[in-house]
Structure formats: C-alpha cells, structure tokens
Chains A and B, each alone.
Chain A
Amino acid sequence: MQVFIENLAASHNYQPTRLMLILRAIQDRYHYIPEPAIRQLAGLLKIPGTQIIGVIEFYSFFHLTPRGQYELLISDSITDHMLGKHNLMAYLSAKLQVAVGAVRSDGLVSLDNMSCSGLCDQGPAGLVNGYALTRLDRPRIDLITDLINQQKPLDKWPGELFQVNDNLIKSGLLLDDPIAPGDALRAAFKRGLQETLAEITQSGLRGRGGAGYTTGWKWHLCYEGPEENAFCDVDAQKQLQRYVICNADEGEPGTFKDRVLLSSYAHQVFEGMTVCAAIVGATEGFLYLRGEYLFLYDKLQAILAERRQADLLGGNILGKGIAFDIEICLGAGAYICGEESALIESLEGKMGIPRNRPPYPVTQGYLGKPTVVNNVETFMAAASIAVNGGNGFANMGTEKSKGTKILSISGDCSQPGIYEYPFGATIQTILNDCGADDVLGVQIGGPSGTFISNQELGRKLAFEDLATGGSFIIFNNSRNILDIVHNFTHFFAHESCGFCTPCRVGTSLLKQQLDKIVDGHGSAGDIVALEELCQLVKSNSHCGLGQTAANPILTTLERYPELYQSQLKKISYEPGFDLDGALETARRMAQRNDAAAHLEQIGEDHE
C-alpha cells in the first residue's frame, strides 16, 4: 500500500488541491481509506491528518471503515420511490443477504442509500463502485446478485446494466443547433473579445444553475478583479491569475440535464468555458463533475484531449497566443458542493463548507483569485451566443428571462427526459408535451424550489414566476403529498454541511417535527411550531441550502393546510417521546408488568 500511495501522490504532484481525486483512487482500490494511508498522505501533501479525516467524513463516498468489494448504493430520490424503490431495496437486501447500511460478513458486498443519482428519467437507479446502474428491476437485481456472488469484475458485467440514455425529447434554440468545435472561439476572436462579452451581456443570459445572475456582468467583474487592482495598468491586470469553473455538481434532486449536455454537447460546454477564459484572462479551468457521473469521466477526458490536439485548448489556442486548459475534478457525494463557494473549497481539497460573503468568488475564488463559476448550461448558451450574437437569444423568452431553458422532466408522465422551452412557456403546455394527466402538482426547481398545485398550471417558466435550475417533477393524484415532503425534508437534513447552527440543528429538527405530524403524533400546537421553525431556519441559515430547506414544508403547508390538520390527534399536547416505552428497562429490571408499572400517555381529549 505504501508504494501505491507514494506513486499516487507523486502522480498528483503532491498537490493538496488534488486530495479529492487521490482519496477517490484509494477508496476505489481498498474500499475505504485506511489509517496508515491518511498518515502517509498527510506527510506527502504536507497537510494535517485532521484535514484528510475531515474530508473523508464529509463526503458520502469516502469511508474510514471498509465497505464491500462491491459497493452498492441505491438512489433515494422521490422519483425512485415512485418507481418502486422501496420494495426493490427490500428485495435486493434479501437477495444479497446484506442489511441496508451494512457490509456482508464475507466483506464482498455493502448496500446503502444515496441521494438523487441524476437518473430520475431511467430509475430506479444506483451505483456500483461509483458506476451508474439504471432501470433496476427484479430480473436485473437477480443478475447483479449472481455477478457479485461470482465475483465478476465490473468490466465483465453486461453493458446494458450501465446503459444511460439521453432521452432527449424536445429540443429548441440550443439543442437543435450545436456549434461545431472551434466556431465560438473563431467568432469571438474575429469579433473581438470585449465585443463578444458585450454580446453575451446584451443577450440577457442569466445563470442556469438557479440563482440567475447575469452572466455578462459576472464575467466583467472577474475581468476587473478585486477593487485594489482597478488602478493597475493593463499589463498588471493581465498578469493576475484567474480561474473558470464549470459547475457540473447537479445535485438538486430531479435535475439531470447537465448529464445529457456533458454526454452529447461537451465540446460546446468546454468551448463556452474557453471563450470565458479568453475574455476574463484565465489560463486554468476546472470541470467539477459530481461523483455520480463517473461514467462520463473517460469520455470527457477524451474530448479534452481532442480539443488539445485541435489547438482549442493548450498553450496557444488557435494560434492567438492565448493559453487555457481544463482539468476535471470529481465530487464525492455532497449536494452542498453545488454551492459555488463550497465547490471551490472542495476543489482546494477541503470539506465543502460555503464561505462567508463578501468576498464573492468573482473577486476572491479558487486559491483566493478571481473566479467565474457557471453552470454547464450557461457555458453552453454562452458558446452559442458567441457564434450567433446575442440578438436571437434576447428575442426569445420574457422581459426578464431571455432565451430558453432546458428542463429535466421526471415523475408521472409518459415521456420523462430532456425538454427545451423558451422562457415564458406555461406549465400546462409542458405537461401536455410530456404526456402528464391527472396531475396533482408539480415540484419546480427541485426540493429547494416550489410545489405548485393543479390549480396553478397556467403559471410560467421564468425567473420572475417559477424559476428552476432544471428540475421538474410531476405527481399524479395517486401520490401522497406528505410522502413527498418527508422525502425532501430528510434529504436536506442528510445534506446539510453542518457549518451553521440554524441549518445543522434546524434541518434535523424539521425532520423530527414533520415526522411527528406525519406519523400521527402531532397535536394542535405542532403545526404552528413547525411553521415557526421553518421561518427560523429559512431566515437565519448561512447559505442557500438552509435558506431553502424548509421550502417543501412551507410551499405545501400554504397550499394544503387541511392535509396537515387532518394528521393531528385531537389532543392539546403530545409529548416528544414515549413515556411508557421509556419505563421498559425499569420494568424488566424490577420484573414487574402490573398496571401500576405503566404510565399512561396523555389521553385523548373528550370533546
């Protein structure tokens, strides 16, 4: 092992910023990160061992204790549940003879849940040793069980188990008309870089990752750099190191459009990054790819190699004397790393904890240098605008939301997949297109977004009405709203980074308080308490995760108050724990079970 670690660290130039990739390689080989490896790495990378332990314990895909040689994870997204995940998991667990969350005694296989795998259009889905498994059903599970018990290496497994389809169903402005490699760069150089930035600003393009910040302004701010640089002469400005990062963490449950963009439009995404780099003056860039998309890694590396070959990346891009290259970093199972400053921390080899702002990444980002962070789709759109100019884009959409939006549609509809719409499209139009009827409601923007009821289907896809990073989950009338809220609320508690008190403790309290009501133990005051807690977490949390973690409860409580009410017991107060149950040990010790040894819970009020 010592030699393996030494070589591994050497292959990453002993850079602590490569910690995520190094740990991934160790986990992959030993199925955990052994203690001696941590000590050795701490020495080789010259960082405290506590930083390495911190990182291992922060990310879901790293472990301090051994997992199985086959690490199986099953996606716990609401869409997987709707496709029968619950029964399937029980079947899988029985078949493999391993409990959920455990390692089988022979060490061969471990089984656990994972947050949304980004395969909601072809679930139930999961991962085996990091590689995506799709469309799981009983026959597939039988097959997987046999393959594991025969100890077949993954590359000998039938390819169809790993088949990931694009499911590209409705294309528009962007998906219809991909650019040819190099076109955006040539157009940008021809027009002039600052002129191209002006086109991007004029196009009205706003970030597609959720927050909707105007992309042109972001690039301009990064180009300017921090305030103290404003007075430098142009040459000094040029010296300043800057970075361009593509955010492909895509962790919001129900979002999978970036997966398809990277699978089929990667050239255009990389080209958008390169145009950005040329404009702001960055020489290094990163693609932060969520660990769940490991299956895309080799393909993307090959495309980067092709681009270097074609002088679209490297030391002298298209002979213009401009240098830029892109590295791929893999995440390891942490939704919070989609938040841009947490993502940067992760890229620096640390736990994904959101930074304090200001300063913002555009002035102090990766390694403290001005950094652009944009979503995959944002870069793709920017490349298209660089070729076609900003007008066509600006002429589409609404007043405040220009262009088109690519949606990931899943849930109760006949054709889940990728759809592109001009902003301003109504929800009803979208539902008609994807074959959804008998609709109960739609979750727009994922758990952190909004649940709308079937009374609101005339509303519009737009930043000024219903904003979404791409997640669009449809529920029909057979679904139970409280199950949905339960799933989402547990998701946030699991994914809270734990940095700030309101989110760390608050998301766990939200989970408890909601479960109490859903399980039928709630009483009159409990809904008021729940709502108060929601407001507290929303308004006091450090970052967007905590600030939106109560949205599933708030948006459904607002629309279906009677649903929550109907769960309540007709008592004025219900204790938070089982009084009688708590006496069980005492009864056993005293060997008593008479009536006097039992405590009555507060009884039902008589009306």
Chain B
Amino acid sequence: MNKTITIDGKTIPFEDGQTIMAAATAADVYIPHLCHHPELSPHGSCKLCTVKVNGRNCSACTFPAAEGQDVLNNTKEINDDRQKITQMLFVEGNHFCPSCEKTGNCQLQAVAYHLNMLDNHFPLFYPKREMDASHPDVMIDHNRCIFCTLCVRASQQHDGKDVFAISGRGINKHLIVNAQSGLLKDTDLDMNDKAAHVCPTGAILIKRTGYQVPIGQRLYDHHEIDQVSLVTENPHHGE
C-alpha cells in the first residue's frame, strides 16, 4: 500500500525518508524555493518553501513527509508571506535587476515575479558590499548574495572541495572563501565546478559569458519558474 499525504487537497504519494518538497516535486507540484536543490542536502534557511502541515508552519524542503499530513501550499495567505520574505531578500542586498547580468536567468527575480511582487515594500538597507573579480574565470558580487549556501554545499558535496562558507552573525552574515588572502583567485575553485554554476542569483557569475543571450530571450523571460523548476528537478516530469 502506498503512503500518501495531501497537498492543497490533492493526494500525493511519498516514500519513507522523502521530504514534503521531494514528494511534491515528484508529483509535479511546485513549492517555491531558493535554498533547496534536489542534488544537495537540505538547508531550510530561506523559508520560501514554508507550508502549513496540519495547521503548523514547516519548511517543505526539510520536513519529512508522513502519513496523514494535510499540507497547504498554494494559498493566498501563504503566498502573501512568501512574497514578503522575498521582499526581505531584495531589501537586504543591493539588487538592481536592470543592470544585473543575471536578469532573466535569476531565480530570485523569477520567484518574485511568480509571487506577484510589485515593489520592495520594506525600506532598502543599502549595505556596503564588495566585489571579488580576482579569479580568472569566476567573479563574486556580494551585493546579490542571499546566503542560501548552495555554493557552499555544492563545493563540499559535489566538487569535493571547500571553497565557500558563510560567516558572521545576524544581519552581518557574509560569504567568505577558503584562502588566506580571502580572494577567490587563491582558492582551488575551477570554472567547471558545480559551485560556480549553482547560485540562484547574480552573486556568482562566470566571466566572459555576459550578455551572450540577449535580455528578452532568457529562461524566465518566457517561462514561469514553477514550470522550469519541475522540468529541471523532476526527472519524471509530465509522465
């Protein structure tokens, strides 16, 4: 007998050990997310995937699915909160989308569109953050880092290295790299590492690839993030 949960009233099968996110993705149900990546260990920090499980808020990307769970995902109340959380990520950093090379390919921007975010709502923090363009092939623009740790985890779990880490406390969180100089060029990062490609925003960019695809022809210029996400993250999409 298959075990099941319900998400917004729809019955969804799951296997022991699966998170709500994994079960949902396998059933072609999109739950908004930024710090989750199916090939990396769950983290649970962005809180965009917050769902209501039997009335309680839980992070879908970390919470194990279990028999009898009644999950609310795509409701107005939940999406309103998700929109505000996305706005928090925008005001915390410096995200000037029109001048960013990632625009149109950026998951933060795409999720903001998906959640119908039309303004920043909160006052901007305008933090002073640096760039690191020292590496021959890869650059970091700290202005756009949302501390999702995808690069940290990809480097450790996929590339077998330890290039990135998040340091600091509270609002002073920042990305650091594993080199005495503190510069990316002195790490063992290679441009083909997964860590160099996993960033959901424009914080880590590959040099000399900018604007090869014109704005207007980019991924999220034509597809909503929910569809893209299911196509890329569910191997059995549409079956």
* Contact with B173, one of A49, A493, A504, A576 (Cβ below 8 angstroms): A504
Residue of B88, B146, B170, B171 with highest tally of chain A CB at under 10 A: B170
* Contact with A48, one of B64, B125, B162 (Cβ below 8 angstroms): B162
A494 within 8 A of B: yes
Q: A447–B146 Cα gap in the complex (Å)?
A: 28
User: With a CB–CB cut-off of 8 A, which chain B residues contact A494?
Assistant: 170
User: With a CB–CB cut-off of 8 A, which chain B residues contact A576?
Assistant: 123
Establish whether residues A50 and B178, one from each chain, have CB atoms under 8 Å apart when the complex forms: yes
Establish whether residues A505 and B45, one from each chain, have CB atoms under 8 Å apart when the complex forms: no
B62 within 8 A of A: yes
Establish whether residues A540 and B168, one from each chain, have CB atoms under 8 Å apart when the complex forms: no
Which residue of chain B has its CB nearest to the CB of A536? B84
Given known contacts A50-B178, A499-B45, A542-B44, is B168 in contact with A505 (CB within 8 Å)? no
Establish whether residues A356 and B47, one from each chain, have CB atoms under 8 Å apart when the complex forms: no
* Contact with B177, one of A35, A39, A50, A495 (Cβ below 8 angstroms): A50
Task: Produce 1/0 per residue, A57-86, CB < 8 A to B.
Answer: 111000000000000000000000000000
* Contact with B168, one of A57, A334, A500, A502 (Cβ below 8 angstroms): A57
Smallest CB separation, B173 vs chain A (Å)? 4
Establish whether residues B171 and A504, one from each chain, have CB atoms under 8 Å apart when the complex forms: yes
Residue of B42, B47, B81, B165 with highest tally of chain A CB at under 10 A: B47
B166 within 8 A of A: yes
For chain A, give the interface size range: 35 or more
User: With a CB–CB cut-off of 8 A, which chain B residues contact A498?
Assistant: 147, 168-173
Q: A433–B45 Cα gap in the complex (Å)?
A: 46
Q: A96–B147 Cα gap in the complex (Å)?
A: 39
Establish whether residues B167 and A57, one from each chain, have CB atoms under 8 Å apart when the complex forms: yes
Establish whether residues B123 and A57, one from each chain, have CB atoms under 8 Å apart when the complex forms: no
A471 within 8 A of B: no
Establish whether residues B85 and A501, one from each chain, have CB atoms under 8 Å apart when the complex forms: yes
A384 within 8 A of B: no
B57 within 8 A of A: yes
Task: Produce 1/0 per residue, A176-205, CB < 8 A to B.
Answer: 000000000000000000000000000000
Establish whether residues B85 and A502, one from each chain, have CB atoms under 8 Å apart when the complex forms: yes
Residue of A495, A499, A512 with highest tally of chain B CB at under 10 A: A499
Q: A35–B182 Cα gap in the complex (Å)?
A: 11
Task: Produce 1/0 per residue, A530-563, CB < 8 A to B.
Answer: 0000001001111000000000000000000000
Q: A540–B47 Cα gap in the complex (Å)?
A: 7
B28 within 8 A of A: no
* Contact with B47, one of A49, A334, A542, A577 (Cβ below 8 angstroms): A542
Establish whether residues B180 and A35, one from each chain, have CB atoms under 8 Å apart when the complex forms: yes
Q: A22–B53 Cα gap in the complex (Å)?
A: 43
Establish whether residues B165 and A504, one from each chain, have CB atoms under 8 Å apart when the complex forms: no
Q: A582–B171 Cα gap in the complex (Å)?
A: 24
Q: A298–B133 Cα gap in the complex (Å)?
A: 50
Smallest CB separation, A511 vs chain B (Å)? 9
Which residue of chain A has its CB nearest to the CB of B92? A505
Which residues of chain B from 165 to 196 have a CB within 8 Å of any chain A CB?
A: 165-173, 176-178, 180
B91 within 8 A of A: yes
A368 within 8 A of B: no
B46 within 8 A of A: yes
B122 within 8 A of A: yes
Establish whether residues B170 and A493, one from each chain, have CB atoms under 8 Å apart when the complex forms: yes
Q: A53–B176 Cα gap in the complex (Å)?
A: 9
Q: A51–B176 Cα gap in the complex (Å)?
A: 10
Q: A502–B146 Cα gap in the complex (Å)?
A: 12
A603 within 8 A of B: no
Establish whether residues A496 and B170, one from each chain, have CB atoms under 8 Å apart when the complex forms: yes
Establish whether residues B167 and A508, one from each chain, have CB atoms under 8 Å apart when the complex forms: no
Which residues of chain B from 50 to 85 have a CB within 8 Å of any chain A CB?
A: 50, 57, 59, 62, 64, 81, 84-85
Smallest CB separation, B211 vs chain A (Å)? 30
Establish whether residues B167 and A356, one from each chain, have CB atoms under 8 Å apart when the complex forms: no
Given known contacts A35-B180, A501-B46, A540-B47, is B165 in contact with A493 (CB within 8 Å)? no
* Contact with B180, one of A49, A59, A493, A540 (Cβ below 8 angstroms): A49
Establish whether residues B171 and A496, one from each chain, have CB atoms under 8 Å apart when the complex forms: yes
Which residue of chain A has its CB nearest to the CB of B164? A50
Q: A180–B57 Cα gap in the complex (Å)?
A: 47
B115 within 8 A of A: no
Given known contacts A536-B84, A542-B44, is B171 in contact with A505 (CB within 8 Å)? yes
Given known contacts A35-B180, A540-B57, is B62 in contact with A505 (CB within 8 Å)? no
Establish whether residues B169 and A334, one from each chain, have CB atoms under 8 Å apart when the complex forms: yes
* Contact with B167, one of A53, A358, A507 (Cβ below 8 angstroms): A53
User: With a CB–CB cut-off of 8 A, which chain A residues contact B81?
Assistant: 536, 539-540
B89 within 8 A of A: yes
User: With a CB–CB cut-off of 8 A, which chain A residues contact B47?
Assistant: 500-502, 540-542
Establish whether residues B172 and A356, one from each chain, have CB atoms under 8 Å apart when the complex forms: no
Which residues of chain B from 19 to 59 have a CB within 8 Å of any chain A CB?
A: 42, 44-48, 50, 57, 59
* Contact with B169, one of A50, A57, A540 (Cβ below 8 angstroms): A57
A26 within 8 A of B: no
Q: A290–B44 Cα gap in the complex (Å)?
A: 27
User: With a CB–CB cut-off of 8 A, which chain B residues contact A39?
Assistant: 180
A581 within 8 A of B: no
Establish whether residues A540 and B171, one from each chain, have CB atoms under 8 Å apart when the complex forms: no
Q: A516–B59 Cα gap in the complex (Å)?
A: 32
User: With a CB–CB cut-off of 8 A, which chain A residues contact B42?
Assistant: 356
A392 within 8 A of B: no
User: With a CB–CB cut-off of 8 A, which chain B residues contact A358?
Assistant: 64
Smallest CB separation, B112 vs chain A (Å)? 13
Q: A507–B88 Cα gap in the complex (Å)?
A: 11
Establish whether residues B169 and A58, one from each chain, have CB atoms under 8 Å apart when the complex forms: yes
Establish whether residues A508 and B123, one from each chain, have CB atoms under 8 Å apart when the complex forms: no
A497 within 8 A of B: yes
Smallest CB separation, A386 vs chain B (Å)? 36
A54 within 8 A of B: yes
List B residues at the A interface (Cβ < 8 Å): 42, 44-48, 50, 57, 59, 62, 64, 81, 84-85, 88-89, 91-92, 122-123, 125, 146-147, 162, 164-173, 176-178, 180
In the complex, given contacts A53-B165, A501-B85, what are 10 additional A-B residue pairs having Cβ atoms less than 8 angstroms apart?
A50-B177, A50-B178, A58-B167, A59-B169, A496-B171, A500-B47, A501-B146, A505-B122, A508-B170, A509-B88
Can you spell out 14 A-B residue pairs with CB atoms less than 8 angstroms apart?
A: A50-B176, A50-B178, A53-B165, A58-B168, A356-B44, A356-B59, A497-B170, A498-B172, A501-B89, A505-B88, A505-B89, A505-B122, A540-B50, A542-B44
